[in-house]
Amino acid sequence: MKRSPLLNIELSQVIAGMGHGDVLVIGDAGLPVPPGVRRIDLAVAQGVPTVAQVLAAVLSELQVERAVVASECLSANEGSGAKGALPDWYASQGDRLPAAPQSISHEDFKALTARAVAVVRTGEFTPYANVALVSGVVF
C-alpha cells in the first residue's frame, strides 16, 4: 500500500511514468500552459495549495536531478534578503532540491514548459513562483 502525502491520482500517475530527464513544472495559478501539455490544476481557493506544499509532496516521490527557475523569480525575491536570494518556497525544501537552481529567462522558462510531461498549477498567486523539475535516477 502506498503511504505518501501525494493524494492526487493524476499527479501520482504522471510521476510514476516519468523517466530520466523528463520535466515536471510546478507553478502559480497564472503560469500559461502550452497547448498539448498535460495540465493538472490543483487550486481549490486563492493560495491553496501553495507551491511549497505541492513541491514538498512531489519531492517525496520524485528524484530530482536538476531544478530550473526563471531569473525573474530570483530578482522578484530581492525584498526578502540578498540580491538573487532563493524564494522561501524553494529554500524550505532543504536538501531535497539542488542548492542552486539553474536560472533562465521567464520567456525561456515558458518555452521549457512546452516539453514538460505535465504542468501542475497551484493556488499560489506569487509572481514567478514556478519551478521545472528534471527527473533523475535513484541509485
106 in catalytic set: no
Give 122's contacts (C-beta < 8 A, 6+ positions apart).
26, 27, 28, 29, 42, 43, 49, 50, 51, 53, 54, 129
Of 20, 38, 39, 115, the catalytic one is 20
C-alpha–C-alpha distance, residues 52 and 89, integer Å:
5
Q: Which residues are catalytic?
A: 20
